Each structure stands twice: as C-alpha cells, then as structure tokens.
Structure 1
C-alpha cells in the first residue's frame, strides 16, 4: 500500500512534521504556563515574568496555527493518495472482468473498492502520523526532563515505553481476530443489504422478504459482536494507559522532589507527553483493521488479468474483418475439446448465433471482446492474431450490447454518453430513433431508475440498443437483445435492430428464432458445437434443429415458413 501511495509520501511527511510541531508547542505551552504560575506565586517583579508571558502567548498561537496546518496539509495529502489508490484498484479490477463477479461477488467487490480503500487513509492519519508524533514528542520530553533530573527521565522513559510500546503490542494482538471477523462480516452485511434493496420486488413476490431481512439482521448482529469484542479490548487498553500515565507522573514527582518549581514543571510536561503516547494502542488496533482491509485489496491487486495483454502488442489493423478457425474459449482455465467454431465476418456481413441456453453463445462473444481467453484455434482481426492486440484496442472495433448490460442511475443522456462522451443531443436523438424510440428526443433528462427500474422491458432494451449503436463499433455484437421481452415487443425490437444495422457487420446472439430471415448466415450452436449453419431458408429446408425449434405460429401445416 505504501508503494502505491509513494508519490504522496513527501507531502504526508511534511504533515507529520507540522503535527509534531503542534504537539511540541502544546507541551511547551503547558511547561511554560506551569513555571509561570508557580513562579508568580512568590510575587516576583513583573519584568521577571515578561519572557514567560510572551512565550505562553506564542506557544498558544503557534499550537493553533500548526494544528490547522497539520489538518489541512495532512488531509489534502491523504485524500490525493486515496484518490490515486482507488483509481489503481479500479484499474486492477477492470482487466479481471468477468472473473471478479464470480470470485468476489458484486456487493463484496464494491465493499473492497469503497470501505477497504477508505481504511487505507487511516494508515497515515491514525497510524503513521501518531507514531511519528509520539516518537518526536517522547524524545523531546525525555531530553528536557533529563537536563534537570536524569533519574526522573529514566522513570518517564519506562512509563512512556510501557504505554507506547507494550500496550500497543497487546492491543494489536487482541484486536487481530476481531479485525478479521469484522472484515468478513462487513462484506456479508454489504451483500445482504444489496440483495434486500435490489431484490425487493422479487423477495416480495415470493414471500421471502422476512427471510432475507432475518439473514441481513443476523449478519448485522455478527458484525456488531465482532466490533463489540474489539471495542472491549480497546477500552481495557485505554484504562491501562491512563493508569500507567498517572503512576509515571507521580513517580517523576517523587524522583525529583528537590527541584522546587521545576518539579511541578517536569511532572506536568510528562503528563502532557502521555497524551501523544495514549493514542498508540488505538493506532495499533487500527493498524490491525487496516491490514485486514489491505489483504482484501491485495487479493484483487495480485490477481492476474483474465485475458492479459501481450508484452509487445501490434497496432490495431484498419481492416475490421473478423475470422475464426477452430476457435474455442477457455472457461475457468478449461477448454472443451469439442467446442470449436469457424466463422467469417467481413465488413457488412450479418450473422446470428442461435441455439439452446448453455450452448456457448455468450462465451463466444466474451472471447471475441477479450473478456474470456481464446482456448485454442485462431481468431484474427484484419489478418492479425487477436492475441497480439490489447483488449482495449479490440473493444474499439468489436463491441455492443452484453446480455447483462447495465442501465446506470443517471439521466438518459448520460447513459447514452457512456458509449460516446462527446455526442451532442442531435446524435443521441438519432441513436434513440434508430433503436425504436423516436419520441425520446425530449426525454434525455429522464432518470431511468436503478438499472432501468422506471422503464418497461422494451424501453430498457431499446435504450441499451441505442447505446450500442452510438458506440459505432465496426463489428457490432448484440447478446440476447430481446431477453425477457414478450413476443410482440421482442419482434418489434428485432425488426428495429436489423433495420438499424443494415450495411454494418453484426454478430447477433439470441435464442429466439423469429425474424432472422434478413441475416446473411445463421449458425446454430449446441453444447459449443456448430450443428447447423446457413441462411434462414436453407435451414428451414433441412428440417433440422432450426426448423424444429421455430415457433408453431411461424410455420404452416406443410412445414414451410410463413
């Protein structure tokens, strides 16, 4: 974690120096004020106190100014480092698609990206800065006390070491298990909460809301128990620290009883020094929590990309011709020996990949968009082996609409601009019209709800289709664009998307077989194998799977397509 935020460490170190200066000003203020009060009791001439009076004012003002600068510089540095770290974590997540959702789960992944990254800021503000401040303040205090009484300095050193080293070690060991449990239960609670919020309709429909609420409540109780155990150990440690401070101050006063006014000054100086040391057990406990969060982040940062980019990538070819020869995806590191596909998709050619669920259609598209590695065979783009191109370059040519495409909780305009950030309203309106939403030109400021909850199924799919068209990929891939739609709506969406993609390269994955007669070729996949291929009329004449799977309403009694 320190290596990742290393560019910001000089600014963080400056904040630490300012913080230590603020603490030293506070100690000097107390020591000077103690001497001033004790000396003033003997009614000396005012001139004998003038320097001390000015010093008290100076230390009081400087303490406040340095404390302000400490907060300003420290938080500025940490927030900059945190933003860079969050970007680094997100950059590590992106090449893991779609493996991250299978390995971590969406809610837990969000918890790592937000809560665990936020915890790293405390590595500086609540761990390193307090430790640095305590070391500087402790050394300065002991030097000051030793100048007047070496025995008193030895006593103070023992107390400071006990409170600043021994107690933090005990606190960290007792907090370690609680921290691991807390991180696990926090992730479980985040997952339960997301399920309750996003799945409220489904839970209500099946009468499972109470069960889900009980599960979330159990996760919350488990998290509370883990935090309660950690708080209990912290309370005991704090009490012991206060006891050690009191005993040490008394011992210092008893060790140097013959110094007159300076006895009180030394005792108060040591007492104030313990304020800097008293936070170290909490810092040690927080370090344990941070280490648990850091481990969860490292689990992501250390994962290799699902599809690594080549060490020396080739430039993206200008020819968008896509060609597959014996290609098959590697799923979970395993390659099905029988799942091979041959396909040619020159510019302007439109091909449908159809077949039953589980036949390998979506995995084929994931392989072409470089979200799943190529298991065997060859896939070329413009004659260049796709393994020699970066995933980002490939996705500028091949892309479109995935089966689980997401509608963001922003306006229609911003949803569309995900695909084309510079697009003006006229271009957005044209994409909506091409997708079958011609009257949405004046609805660009509409909020579609969480993942399109405020839209009908057809509107949601058309919006996603408009976004895919707006991206203007040379090879447009559409994965189940009519999923979860009724027949009439699905037929209308199919007609609109085929009209909108006239003259463009298209790879359409669908399990619906209606309305595909306009395509140049239809490839039927079953269990990863190509069992049929040809035009709509050719497949209907053969009487194979494609013909048999046609809805009865599209076939007359003679078996011909209507």
Structure 2
C-alpha cells in the first residue's frame, strides 16, 4: 500500500456520488459544447435570412444549453465537493485512529508542528485527488467518446482530428510536464512542513530568542526556507501555466484542422456550409474537458507526497498491541512488579533493570530518585504506553498484558507534573474524566479538590474559559483542576507523578492536603524526587539508573546514610531556605 493508492479504495463506498459527479461534470462540458455549437449554427442559419419560425428550435436550444450548463455546473460542484469532504472526514478519522495507539511511544520523536501539519494540511491536500486528479481524465474520455461519435456522423476524419488533439493535450503534454515537474510537489510539501515547524518553534520560544539576541538569526533561517519554498512554487506555477498554454494551442490547432477539413468537404458538396462553424466551435469547446489535465501532474505529485507522509503514521506499529478479545474483571486493586526489565529501544540502556515491588489494595508506596532514574517509566508501563521486555506486571492479580490500554487507564487516575488544560471551559476540562457526569458530581469533585470556591468567584463560574494551556489559572489551580478530574473519575488506583513539581512551598502544602484526601481508600503510587509527605508511605522504593538501590519505610531509610538520606537532606535544606526571611 504505497503512495496514494491506499486512498482510492476509500472512494468505493461513495461510488454512487462519484458516478453522479462524473456524469454532471460530463454534462457541464457537453452543455458548453452544445451551447457553442448551437450558437454557431444559429448565426450561420440566420445569415441566410430564413423565416423566424425556422430558427425557433435553434434559439430554444441555445437557451437550453446555457441554462443546463449553469445548473449542471452548480450541482456538479455541490456533489463532487460533498464526496470530497466526506472522504476527507474519513481520512481524518482513520488517521487519528491510527496515531492514537502510537501515543506517546511512537510519537515522542515527532515534532508537534509536523504532526499538526500531517493532520491538517496533508489531509487537506487529498481533496485534489478526486477533484483534480481522478475525475478530469475520466470526464475527458467520456467527452471524447460522445463528441467523437457525433463528429463521425459527418466524417470519420473529424473524429480522428479530435482524438489526436485529445491524445496530445490529455496524455502527451501532461506526461512531458510530469517528467519536468517530477519531485517539485514532494519538495513543496516537505518545505511547507519544515517552515511550519520552524515558525511554530519560533513563536513558542520568541522570549528566549529575543533575550539571547538570536531573533534576527532565526528570522534569517525562516526567510531562507521561505525563499526555497517560493522558488519551488514559482517553478511549479510556471510549468503549470506553460502546460495550460500548450493545451490551449492544441485546442486551437484542432479547431483549425477541423475548419480546414470542413472547408474542403463544403467545396466538394459533402458538408453543408451552415454546419462548418458548428463543428469547429464544438471541437474547440470540447477541450474544456482537457484544461484541468494540465494541472494533474502538479496535484498528483503533491497528493502523493502528502499521502506518503500520512502513510508513515498509518503503517507505524504501536508499541503495545491490545488483546481485544480478553476482558478482565479484577477482584482487588493491587499492583506488583516482578523482576521487570524495560528499555525504550534496542540500543538504549535499561530504563528499568530487574525492578520488583508490590502495593496491596489501598496501600501506599512511594518511588523516589533523581531525574532519569526510571520513575516515569513505571507510569508508562502501568498505563500501557509501552510494553516491558522481561518480567511480569500484575494489576488486580492479572498480568497487565491481559488488559487493553483503555481498560488499564480506566482503573487508574493520574496526576502529573504537567497536566494539560485544554483551551475550553472549566466544565469541559472536568468532563474529560467522566463525560456523563452531572452538575452535582462536578461540584462535589471540585469541593473535594478545594477548587469550587475559586470557580464561584469567576464571572461565568464553571463556564469560564481557562485559556491555552490553562494560562488563566495559577499553578496551584491547575493542579487542583487535575485533582478534581481524578476525584470525578473515581478510579481505584491513583498515581501521583511529580504532582508537586513546580509549585512554591506554600501552594505545595495546600495541594498536598487535597492529595492526602485523594489517596484515602485508593491504591496509591507516589513518584517524586521531593520527599515531602512520604512519611505516611507504607514503603519507599529508591531507584537509581533503573535499579532498586534502597527500600523501606521513611523512618528506616532516614537512619541509613545512603541515597534516600541525601535526598532528605536536600529537601530539608530547600524547606528551610523557602521559609527563611529574605
């Protein structure tokens, strides 16, 4: 399944609309031919001064073809764009369904701007596949067949001239320009993606660029990429314009040849003179079906390049494959790691190296360690974002591999260091945890998270927008919103992954009070490199470079001059500095 061919089967379920669009497009061109040919015939007949009644049928024909052309063009646009937008919608859904299992394992090395480019621009490029790549050649064949048969009634040589002109303008010229423009579409798509990534990076890091005096250098880089893109687009436009011009020349040449042959036949008495203009202008008008073919190479190249970029994501294998046929009903919410080994790729070092620990139902275990010790890898495995290499992880007495990712996530509530807040209302952000929740549940969750009173001070309450990334909220309010989500979800297992990171000591103490209430009655795993609040843990696991180096209760570990003792001294010093007068 390469290139654009994987998109073509998506047209088959809509074959009725596709067929109707092709017929309407053919009718539009045919009406144009009929309009010009009938008008030419009317002028020729009128020059002979026949009775007006003899011209009535022809006059009605001109009006009929004129109205038919306008109506059929409108309906054709409506139907063809309806088909296109339906297919684009299906492509978006298919693309999202394909990348969802890839997150975050397969997407972690992909730039967000590039991914957005694929979802938006590369999908939008596929609208040209039917409208400007597949439909024009089919319409041209239908017009050639229909009008060629009409010309054959007068002389087969008229049909031969038309066929030669169509062959030249519809096949040879596009083929030549396809060779000349080869690679341009792919380079345009790649440069657009590169430009979007650079601009997005610049907008996100504009403060740093200005602070370090690199703004002008960055703009220079953006200008260079933009100039490369402009050159490729200008070359593509130049080739497309030249192709259209040569196609127009072929159309006029075919008309002239039909006119010359017609004059010869008129002189020989084998063709009526009033039909001469009709055949010539009809031939010229029939080339309306071929003018879109001049742009087919350009749109074909861009569509194929964009389709290949989409296909890279569609064919990517997820890091974890669900066993959809197996449904697990755990009897108790316990967690256990048995000699688990895990690495993110074959050449990477072990992120977890023979890690073992267990958390009984409603138990509380803390995992501590410096950055890069492997703490977050534990969360990634529990949420089934990745699969472990060796050992066994049990959730509720069953292997975690027996759960689908959705099943595992439904049992776990997570509060992370950087909770993403969507640019939506407070209500909509809360409903992510439980879409069917009512107002009473939302209020109760926010009261338990100590967020309700703040929400009530806002002009629109729960309907207040929080801005991009929740920038209208403070750090503590964002964390409280995340805690309210977990209260609303009411999952039996709770994971706190650096939930206090980035908060000032006062806000940290306030949020920690809500977290303590959140842990009640839940199996809890606390992951942090700050040790505040770990005194209440049933057990503390100390990780260093993916290995368990120490374990025990806080009161035991604090007595031993090891890794945990050093972390505790660092935390104590931080607390003293935070509360000391400046």
Cα deviation, 1:185-237, whole Å, max 9, x if unaligned, reads 11111112222233333434444333333333332222222212211211221
Q: Which residue does 2:537 correspond to in 1?
A: 519
> Normalized against structure 1, the TM-score is what?
0.94
Alignment counterpart, residue 502 of structure 2, candidates 480, 484, 502: 484
Change (3 A) 1:47 1:70: same
CA distance in structure 2 between the partners assigned to 1:254 and 1:60 by the alignment: 28
Instruction: Select which of 261, 264, 272 maps to 2:277.
Output: 264
Q: Report how far residue 499 of structure 1 moved.
A: 2.4
Q: Do 1:465 and 1:481's aligned partners in 2 also have CA atoms closer than 8 Å?
A: no
Structure 1 residue 553: deviation in Å? 6.8
Q: Which residue of 1 aligns with 2:81?
A: 75
Q: How does 1:77-226 map to 2 (within 5 A)?
A: 77-226=83-232
Structure 2 residue corresponding to 1:535, chosen from 549, 553, 558: 553
Provide the C-alpha distance between the structure 2 equivalents of 1:5 and 1:307, rounded to a whole number of angstroms: 31
Quote how far apart the aligned CAs of 1:516 are: 1.6
- In structure 1, what is the equivalent of residue 577 of structure 2? none
Structure 2 SS opposite 1:378 = strand
Deviates more, 1:321-330 or 1:425-434: 425-434
Q: Cα–Cα, structure 1 residues 555 and 137, in superposed 2: closer, same or farther, change >3 Å?
A: closer
Deviations 1:145-194 (A, max 9, x none): 22212112212211111110011112222333111111111111111222
Matching residue of 1:559: none
Partner Cα distance (1:174, 1:528) in 2: 56
**For structure 2, which runs of at least 5 residues remain unmatched after alignment?**
1-6, 575-582
Deviation at 1:39, TM superposition (A): 0.8
Tell me how far apart the structure 2 counterparts of residues 116 and 411 of structure 1 sit (CA, whole Å). 30
C-alpha contact (below 8 Å) 1:168/1:285 kept by paired residues: no
2:438 is aligned to 424
* Worse-matched range after superposition: 466-475 or 361-370: 466-475
Q: Which moved more, 1:545-554 or 1:256-265?
A: 545-554
CA 428–440 in structure 1, closer or farther in 2 if over 3 Å, else same:
farther
Once the two structures are TM-superposed, the CA of residue 332 in structure 1 deviates from its matched residue by 2.1
Answering whether residue 335 of structure 2 is matched by residue 325 of structure 1, we say no
Deviation (angstroms), 1:48: 1.9
TM-score under structure 2 normalisation?
0.90
1:364 — aligned with what? 378
Give me the whole-angstrom Cα distance separating, in 2, the residues matched to 1:453 and 1:213: 27
Match of 2:290 in 1: 277
C-alpha separation in 2, matches of 1:429 and 1:314: 33
Q: How far did residue 347 of structure 1 move? A: 2.7
Question: Once the two structures are superposed, what CA deviation does each residue of 1:297-326 show, in whole Å capped at 9, x if it has no partner?
Answer: 110101011211136434343533222211
* Aligned residues of 1:335 and 1:375 also touching (Cα < 8 A): no
Unaligned runs of 5+ in 1: 557-562
Residues 12 and 78, structure 1, Cα contact 8 Å, conserved in 2 = no
Give the equivalent residue in structure 2 for 1:57. 63
Gap change, CA 1:88 and 1:247, over 3 Å in 2: same
* Corresponding residue for residue 243 of structure 2: 237
> 1 CA distance for matches of 2:259 and 2:113?
57
Mapped contact 1:306–1:371 kept (Cα < 8 A): yes
User: Are 2:319 and 1:306 aligned?
Assistant: yes
Q: Deviations over 1:497-544 (max 9, x none)?
A: 122222212222111111221222221111111111222212212232
1:340 is the counterpart of 2:346: no
After the TM superposition, which segments of 4 or more aligned residues of structure 1 sit over 6 Å from their partners?
A: none
Distance of aligned partners of 1:202 and 1:100 in 2 relative to their CA distance in 1, 3 Å threshold: farther
How do residues 367-516 of structure 1 correspond to structure 2 at under 5 angstroms? 367-442=381-456, 443-516=461-534
How far did residue 338 of structure 1 move? 6.5
Contact 2:340 2:391 in 1 (8 A): yes
Give 3-state SS (helix, strand or coil) of 1:327's partner.
strand
Moved more, 402-411 or 85-94: 402-411
Q: Alignment length, in residue pairs?
A: 556
* Aligned-partner Cα distance in 1 for 2:412–2:14: 38
Aligned counterparts of 2:19 and 2:155: Cα–Cα separation in 1? 33
CA gap of 1:451–1:299, structure 2 versus 1, over 3 A, is same
The 1-side partners of 2:340 and 2:550 are apart by 16
Residues 1:356 and 1:426: Cα distance change in structure 2 (over 3 Å): same
**Which of residues 368, 388, 392 in structure 2 aligns to 1:354?**
368
Deviates more, 1:41-50 or 1:195-204: 195-204
CA–CA distance in 2 between the matches of 1:208 and 1:362?
A: 34
Instruction: Kindly report the root-mean-square deviation, in angstroms, between the aligned alpha carbons of the 2 structures.
Output: 2.1
* Secondary structure class of the residue paired with 1:323: strand
- The alpha-carbon deviation at position 447 of structure 1 amounts to 2.2
Which deviates further from its counterpart, 512-521 or 366-375? 512-521
Q: Distance in 2 between matches of 1:213 and 1:462?
A: 39
Distance (Å, rounded) in 2 between the aligned partners of 1:199 and 1:448: 22
Distance 1:177 1:223 in 2: 13
**Cα distance in structure 1, aligned partners of 2:533 and 2:281:** 88
Residue 554 (str. 1) matches residue 567 (str. 2): no
Aligned partner of 1:315 in structure 2 is: 328
1:489 Cα deviation after fit: 2.5
The worse-fitting range, judged by mean Cα deviation, of 483-492 and 60-69 is 483-492
Change (3 A) 1:432 1:172: farther
Q: Distance in 2 between matches of 1:373 and 1:54?
A: 74
Residue aligning to 1:560: none
Contact 1:313/1:389, CA 8 A, preserved across alignment? yes
Shift of 1:386: 1.6
Which of 295, 302, 307 aligns to 1:294? It is 307
